[in-house]
Structure 1
């Protein structure tokens, strides 16, 4: 009897197949019959294959089967990877693919002309918030795949960006979804903490994937702040807003307190939908005070709900102009004594920095190579001049060389249409 165990991995028996869970957030399924055939071709035996106690069990006495099947699984893992929370196929972006990590919204790095650099190592979300601006989560009707960026490749590109942007940077882990789905989340924080140009490491999170152990690991790795997406303190209303009947509000509240106790600052960041949760504003403030949020930065970051073209826009949402929203915030400041609620860049130590120079100008015609499928129908990703370009309304395929017209370059995010 041989036990196969791989680093950061455990196996589950699904009957006809075995499921490999990798780093908690990704999985791949292998048919038992396929594994048996692989072994049979090499060793001329047909052993029983099962999974038990997290290990892959092979009923044979050939000791080197363990190494052989481990290599087979590792060689085939990339093509089979799926996101454990969205169940979508995962494309694993690594250095060998030579895919630029500047130019696209869903993964890589984003520079918006300040000392804050957005770092997006993963796409996808475990929740399906009814107001999600990018239609993310398990119930998405538009997103067809997810990406994961290899940590070494991500840090290599971050280092290049940091050399341009200078010292005193805030490395902000966010994404089109939940950053804690990133399989190398702790290692990423650790690597950023060791970078000489990084002053602050912050993260956006809905908090549901946190546990006591992960909180401690992130704190020890050097995480400074979590911007916690918490939209209601009423359990049933929270389930409705988060789009999940299994949303555990008490767990998220406990994790917020655990973060503060571990030395990680917390900023409570509710999206306010007037007529639904605006009446909870004072309760959010009281909760933030009770757990000791906002020791180094503001304790709350209320956000005004606005609809997005490709987002989920609930019909029950009442739209409020930003002028009135800021008046509402100032009234809250006066009433509760909690300041600041009207947030400015200086509250976070943000300052303007020169943009990374644009690689293209609007209206420019470019020849580019299609390197990856996009996340929605009719979208492909192409590269040119060491930048990634989102090409929309196209039927091109990976490997094609196409002529495109750049239609948007805002903040170094490039969007083009085919010619």
Structure 2
């Protein structure tokens, strides 16, 4: 009897299908019969395959079969890889593809002219918040593809950016979704901790995928702060806002305390929708005080709900002008004594740094090569001058050489239209 398990993975039984779960967040499905047929063709023997305690079990003692099946599974892994939480196909970006990691908003690195660099290793989310600005998560109607960047390639680009930006950087792990979906998240924190230009490592998270073991690993790797997205302290309201019936608020609250106890600072970051959860503001403050959040940085980061063109904008969410929002925060500071609630860059040690020079000017026409499909209908991703360009409203195909008019360059994120 052979019991097979691959590194950083385990198997699940899904009836006629065997599922490989790789690095917690990625999956690939194989039909039982296709594995059995492949063995029969190769070794002229009939076998049964099954799953037991995370192992792939094959009823033979032939070690060559074990090696063959391991190769078979890994050989087809790339083309079958999907996001465990969104179900979408994964495109795995590595150095051999020659894909730049600057210029696109959904993955790679973003420089907004400060000492903070946004590091986005993957796309996708395990939740479908009803106010999500980019329509992410399992119930997305617009996102059709997910990306994962090889950690060595991501760090190679980070090192180049860091050399341009100087020392004393904050590496902020965020995403158009949930950063904990990045399969190398612990290794990424460790690599950033070892980088001589990095002083602070912070991360956005909704906290759902945390457990005691992962918290300990992140702490040991050197994570400094988690900006934790908790939008209600009422379990049923939280499920509604997070867009998931199985959202476990108590687990997230426990993980918030576990982070603090592990030496990772926590900033509670609710999105405030007036008329829905603004009446919980004092409860958020009380919870932050209770767990000891905000030891080095502010304990709370209340965010004002803003509707976005490509986001989910629920009927119950009525935008409030920022003037009124800041006045609300001032009154909250006075009433509770919790300061600061009106956050400024200096509260986080952020300060201006020269931008990495722009590769394009707005209005410029450039010749670019289409290298990747986009994440939404009518979008493709092209490259030119070692930068990525989001090409919108296009029917271009991968490999096409096209002329693109640059319509946006803000913060080194390039958007263009085919002409």
TM-score (norm 1): 0.99
Equivalence map 1:139-288=2 (5 Å): 139-288=139-288
1:273 CA drift (Å): 0.5
In structure 2, what is the Cα distance between the partners aligned to 1:77 and 1:343?
Answer: 45
Q: In structure 2, what is the equivalent of residue 373 of structure 1?
A: 373
5+ long unaligned stretches in structure 1: none
Distance 1:63 1:206 in 2: 44
Q: Number of matched residues? A: 419
Paired with 1:47 and 1:236, the residues of 2 have a C-alpha distance of 49
Q: Distance in 2 between matches of 1:386 and 1:46?
A: 52
CA distance in structure 2 between the aligned counterparts of 1:211 and 1:165, rounded to whole angstroms:
34
- Measure, in 2, the Cα distance between the counterparts of 1:317 and 1:5: 47
Bigger mean CA offset, 316-325 vs 338-347: 316-325
Q: Distance in 2 between matches of 1:14 and 1:138?
A: 19
State how far apart, in whole Å, the 2-side matches of 1:402 and 1:367 are. Answer: 6
Residues 283-317 of structure 1 show CA distances to partners (whole Å, capped at 9, x for unaligned) of 11111011100000000000000100000001111
2:307 is the alignment partner of 1:307 = yes
- Cα deviation code 1:123-142 (max 9, x no counterpart): 11111101000000100000
TM-score (norm 2): 0.99
Aligned partners of 2:31, 2:344: CA distance in 1, in Å? 54
Q: CA deviation at 1:66?
A: 1.2
> What is the root-mean-square deviation in Å for CA atoms of aligned residues?
0.9
Structure 2: state its 5+ residue gaps. Answer: none
Q: Which ranges of 4 or more aligned residues in structure 1 deviate by more than 3 Å?
A: none
Q: More deviation in 12-21 or 378-387?
A: 12-21
Deviation at 1:402, TM superposition (A): 1.2
Specify the alignment match of 1:295 in structure 2: 295
- Report the 3-state secondary structure (helix = DSSP H, G, I; strand = E; otherwise coil) of the residue aligned with 2:78: helix
1:382, distance to aligned residue in structure 2 (A):
0.7
Q: Report how far residue 344 of structure 1 moved.
A: 0.5
Which residue does 1:384 correspond to in 2? 384
Distance in 1 of aligned mates of 2:226 and 2:404: 39
Aligned to 2:76, the other structure's residue is in SS state helix
Shift of 1:15: 2.3
State how far apart, in whole Å, the 1-side matches of 2:249 and 2:35 are.
42
| Separation (CA, whole Å) in 2 of partners of 1:186 and 1:173 | 11
Structure 1 residue 204, shift from structure 2 partner: 0.2
d(CA) in 1 for partners of 2:86, 2:233? 26
